[in-house]
Amino acid sequence: MIVLDQENRVFTLHTQNTTYQMKADRHNVLLHTYYGPRLAGGDLSYLIRYADRACAPNPAEAGLDRTYSLDTLPQEYSTCGVGDFRLPSLELELPGGSCSADLRYVRCELRGGKYALEGLPAFHGSRADAETLVITLEDAAAQAEVELYYGVFEGYDLITRAVRVVNRGGQALRLRRCDSLCLDLLRSDLDLITFDGCHMMERAPDRAPLRSGVQGVGSARGTSSHQHNPFVILCDRDANEDYGLCYGAALLYSGSFQALAEGSQYDNTRLVMGINPLQFCWTLEPGQSFTAPEGALVCSPSGLGQLSRQLHRAIRERLIRDPYEGKRRPVLINNWEATYFDFDADKLVDFAKTAAPLGIELLVMDDGWFGKRNDDNSGLGDWVVNEEKLPGGLEALVPRIQELGMSFGIWIEPEMVSEDSQLYREHPDWALHIPGRSPARGRNQLVLDFSRPEVRQHVYGQIKAVLSSAGISYVKWDMNRSLSDVWSAALPPQRQGEVCHRYVLGVYEMLEQMRRDFPHILIEGCAGGGGRFDAGMLYYTPQIWCSDNTDAIDRLRIQYGTSFCYPVSAVGAHVSTSPNEENGRLTPLETRGTVAMAGTFGYELDPRKVSPQEQELMKEQAAFFKEHYDLIQRGDYYRLSDPFAGGPYTAWEQVSADRREALVSLVSTSLRAAPPFQTLRLKGLDPALTYQVNGGEAYPGDVLMSAGFPLPLLRGDYQSMQLYLRAI
């Protein structure tokens, strides 16, 4: 609910459990007054106090009032170059060469429903569940307007942010920085949690107290990256899963980003988040506008667990556009780790003949089906079926798979090109490269310039022909390197700072075109695994391959960190072979299945090479996942332990919306002689209901949550167990 007090120029955004407020003050500066647990209302600007602070400049409008300084006030969208020396949200390069931004309130507008962003991902909502507030600020000297968009989803405790800059003058402006959100808080006794790592060990939580100065994370790789995720949390220093005030901020963007928090000299905090200003500079001609990516804010007064569940529900229901909406996605098997490039049509059919009786419903043909692609050194860019491997093309292969009762999917990597390809030989200028320099290679491939429409159209035309040739129901869209040598032959020198952002917009455009042309196809995102696991991609790809690391024990940590923002239904997770191909770890098939069920669930192994006993277990796993699909994929998610804490086990729980069902999963992670007895306290149950566990003993919900469930002694490395609870 949005409440406008036009007389006092106070703007209050209420969600079910939180309140967010701004006020345009006597000098038309838009101040941030409050964000936290829901309040009845009123003007909260009394919380802002004024004093004569040395070395804090005063704007001209303040006259002789030395207590009024932009450098000390909590601003809704921070400025630069005119007296505020903290982190800026906006930096304009004016025709004369100066860099500044000085914003004043002009007007506001209330709209029903949720705003949309052309060419960019955004949460979506109708008049029934969302409202939009647009506040317009003006920089009179620059002759620029800045429109701040707020989408309020009351039932989800979600507030979205977006920014549009319009050049109202007669000369060109250059945007040096344009952040998507700014949050000024009148306190600094907070922790900052970021989610960091590397390829194959992504999104590990990193928690540290805010200190004086700037700290944060970002990516300059042209992708959101394996190294840092565009999601951060600010929280009370004593906040845990069940207690404390927490703020989550996510950026719906799949390119280079930056998220920075500054503890100011007077113990305030400013968080800014948006496109990384490194290698970014956007020219705005007269009358033109620029729209920054959407940011999303969620506040939980009740701990980190509730923050995550709020985000999960909002992402599932108001961001992801799923062709399987209301239906179950298929259990899949991918041939990559089973065959790599060494496959042909008969081998794939034989593969499917073994998989289908196990309850596996979708065969995904990974890299190597196109061009002259027999290794990772050639063929990218030539999206034509290799008929030496697949005689008669997909038109001949897919019906053979379908006759076995399975659907069919393929792998693509459309953003990349091999130098050994027909495409590169014909159009070498279509790859990103810096004139006079030999380009760096990643996985022995170059990056196509997706900022150029003709490049996208050519690549998409080939892929569209392939997707139209047979009954394909799934596409894995991969991207296996970061952007380097960023320079486009299609842009003049003064606009080269636009290439990286135009590249991301090009990726989004092609994904949206694919969704329109093939609405039945489920697209799974991937970037060397989890290198582009962000809320922006989830708008186009309902699930993302979580990590190239399929080891179940490593995945406990990867999926734990991922769960702070992203729902189970978005997390691509498969059962792979043991010993694991990356680290050689031996893990029971039962445990690998348990861990993969904390995601979309599938297999990444050769079913022909497992024992009959393991095949039977795979059949049982697939059947169990299908039976409890809604609970696993759409249930409320509870973290019951922290795998980074070094405890004896990692446990998590999914609870149905009506709290009549729950699934508890546990994996032992350390083994010792003479172990102590362990008791696991559950969460999210109805204390008034009684739950039967795995069809046996029954326990009251309050007992399971307060006293706990006695765990058996698990023997052997990396054992697992699952408890299915049903109210009786």
Annotated catalytic residues are 534, 614
3-class DSSP string for 145-185: EEEEEEEEEHHHCEEEEEEEEEECCCCCEEEEEEEEEEEEE
Q: Alpha-carbon Rg of the chain, whole angstroms?
A: 27
DSSP 579: S
Task: Give the integer Cα–Cα distance in Å for 619 and 330.
Answer: 14
For 340, the token pair is 């790599």
Pairing type for strands 213-218 and 257-263 reads antiparallel
How far is C-alpha 481 from the geometric centre of its chain's CA atoms?
18
Contact 583, 551 (CB under 8 A): yes
Of 202, 178, 179, 206, nearest in space to 192 by CA: 206
Q: Which of 412, 491, 396 lies closest to 453 in space, CA to CA?
A: 491
CA distance 352 to 335: 10
CB 454 within 8 A of CB 461: no
Q: 620-627: long-range contacts at Cβ-Cβ below 8 A with a sequence spacing of 24 or more? A: 621/575, 621/593, 621/597, 622/331, 622/358, 622/359, 622/360, 623/359, 624/597, 625/331, 625/597, 625/601, 626/328, 626/331, 626/359
Contact criterion met (CB below 8 Å) for 373 and 367 = yes
Backbone torsions φ then ψ of 648, nearest 5 degrees: -75, -15
Whether cis (ω within 30° of 0) applies to the bond prior to 492 is: no
**Three-class HEC string of 441-465:** CECCEEEECCCCHHHHHHHHHHHHH
CB 463 within 8 A of CB 414: yes
